[in-house]
Chain A
Amino acid sequence: MKDFFMLIGFSEILLVIFMQWEVYVTKIVKTFSVSSYLIALFLFYLSFIQHSYIVLVLAILTAVIRGFFIPYFILKRLSRDPWRERESTPITGTASSIIISLMIGIFTYVLYEATMSSFVTISLGALPIALIFQGAFLVISRRSAFIQLVGYMVMENAAFLFTGYLFPDLPFSVEAGTVLDLIGIVMISGVIMRMRENSAKKSDDFDELRG
């Protein structure tokens, strides 16, 4: 169980680092889809070990919504206007952002281990916490709205993994609420992004957003 969790956790960290490497937005979304399927796989395995139907339902929900539906939605939105957001290089340059993402992951991991090792119940949760901060860096490092959305969803995925591994007996309503809120956020973001393409007044007066 711990080995499988380690395998999934490290694959997720590696996939987030690959996301930092890639420049095309569709590839990043597809990598996110793969990482969601990995988390669903982990939840399936968890449900087999614990013989729990609740976790099984959660696994199926994760696979369907985060693995298939949301990336499909984003890719469909992208394909409508391919010239607008095809590539997006990070603000600091790709090589530096890979190294920074790696360092953030390792730093938060070490910090977490150093502070939490005394609490035995959650001592293995360092990997998802490192993932959260790597997702936050993904949001910060790119200017494209799609990638910021993917970064936010990586954070939510990591929080899900954290809960799923350490406390599978948390009330189902909370976790289902998480999934539903994620749908809400993605819907709203879809609407916002559509608005961005054809907003009524194309004003360049961004002065109102400064100061």
Chain B
Amino acid sequence: MIILSVIQLVYVLALAPLIAGLIATIEERIESKKGPSIFQPYYDLFKLFRKESVVPSAASPLFRIGPYVTFALYMLLTLVLPIITAFPLQFGPVVDFIGGGLTFGAAATFKKLTALDSRNNYSHLGTSRSASIGALSEPITVLIFIILGVISQTNNPYVINNVLQTSTSWYLSLVHWFVAAAFFMVLLVETGKLPIESHSTAELGAIDQSMEMEYSGTDLAFFKWGGYAKQFLLMSVFLNVYTVPFWVPMRMNFNAVFIYMGIQLLKLIALSIVFSFLEETVSKFRLFKNFDYISIAFAMAFLSFLAFNVSR
């Protein structure tokens, strides 16, 4: 069983930059440009590993350990979430769903702390924006997890996946789809896609980009890799638990797991295509309109609660 955990870790860390590169390339192709190669993030990471890290003189020791702590938290999350299996692996019982949500929050908080520590004006700007939006989107995530727990009578993401895989009535119910829609909206916020955040470093719209501005070299490499891993994890959770929980092996079976790793990649590629289309069609929201967007996500999560009450 422990070997599956190691395989899952390697799977996530190895394929996360591929998904990021895929999204970027598809977007460029939609715009009729050639775009970078899909392995470009790998080349960036290799380049950054060879460079030296420059630390601002006003920073504290927190600055240096920041990227490693967040990367470690993301590695912890890859061990506990259902990525390639629907049965709990060796470290599955470490955190439940809410703990998973809170760990994501912890990693984000640590990144904000290190950004503040860097004493860069743009980092402070990005931190304050990220904190205001995060303050509203974190409760929605917790609400979503609570509702899922109510559906399946547990807070174990593996059991939730099993329930949604096997029971058609729960899969097709209004509760499930409201929650899925709310989580999709939160997913767009957390992974920093349009219409919340654009990819340029212009200060008008930068939220996440500017928090890493002072970093360079190996530290920056770990921050970026952690960001790719976070995106991969959230997309996998969205697919495996919410929308397409099918074909995930529910019993211990090495062949099924290996086959599923390929299917998982296909699902992620499909979601990447959806993201690219979405990014190419909408434009970025004015900053204060993000709060309206989050209110809608909150409304949907709350309505799923009402739907559960009605259908009981």
Which residues of A are interface residues toward B (Cβ below 8 A)?
Answer: 6-7, 10, 13-14, 17-18, 21, 94-95, 98-99, 102, 105-106, 109, 126-127
Contact = CB atoms under 8 A, between A and B. Distances in A.
B303 A99 contact: no
A55 to B, nearest CB: 24
Contacts of A13: 303
Interface of B: 174, 178, 289, 291-292, 294-296, 298-300, 302-303, 306-307, 310-311
A10 B292 CA distance: 20
Contact of B298 (A6, A99, A109): A99
6 contacts: A7-B174, A10-B174, A13-B303, A14-B299, A17-B299, A102-B303
Given A10-B307, A127-B310, 19 more contacts: A6-B174, A6-B307, A6-B310, A6-B311, A14-B299, A21-B295, A21-B296, A94-B289, A94-B295, A95-B294, A95-B295, A98-B292, A98-B295, A98-B299, A99-B295, A99-B298, A105-B306, A106-B302, A106-B306
Contacts of A94: 289, 292, 295
Contact of A102 (B178, B299, B307): B299
Contacts of B295: 21, 94-95, 98-99, 102
Which 8 A-B residue pairings sit nearest by Cβ, starting from the closest?
A98-B295, A95-B291, A94-B292, A95-B295, A102-B299, A95-B292, A17-B299, A99-B295
Nearest to A130: B306
B44 to A, nearest CB: 37
Contact of B299 (A7, A99, A109, A127): A99
A40 B195 CA distance: 33
Contacts, number: 46
A17 B295 CA distance: 10
Contacts of A6: 174, 307, 310-311
Contacts of A127: 310
A10 B306 CA distance: 9
A18 B181 CA distance: 14
B34 to A, nearest CB: 37
Contacts of A7: 174
A127 B174 CA distance: 14
Nearest to A109: B306
Contacts of B292: 21, 94-95, 98
Contact of A98 (B296, B306, B311): B296
A104 to B, nearest CB: 12
A159 B289 CA distance: 33
Contacts of B298: 99, 102
B297 to A, nearest CB: 10
A14 B307 contact: no
Given A10-B303, A106-B302, A17 B311 contact: no
A114 to B, nearest CB: 12
Contact of B296 (A10, A18, A106): A18
A102 B178 CA distance: 14
A90 to B, nearest CB: 10
Contacts of B174: 6-7, 10
A127 B296 CA distance: 19
Contacts of A18: 296
Nearest to B178: A10
Nearest to B300: A14
A10 to B, nearest CB: 6
Nearest to A103: B302
Nearest to A6: B310
A211 B306 CA distance: 42
A126 B307 CA distance: 12
A95 to B, nearest CB: 4
**Which residue among A6, A17, A95 has the maximum number of chain B CB atoms within 10 Å of its CB?**
A95
B296 to A, nearest CB: 6
A64 to B, nearest CB: 29
Nearest to B304: A10
A109 B310 CA distance: 10
Contact of B302 (A21, A95, A102, A126): A102
A173 to B, nearest CB: 32
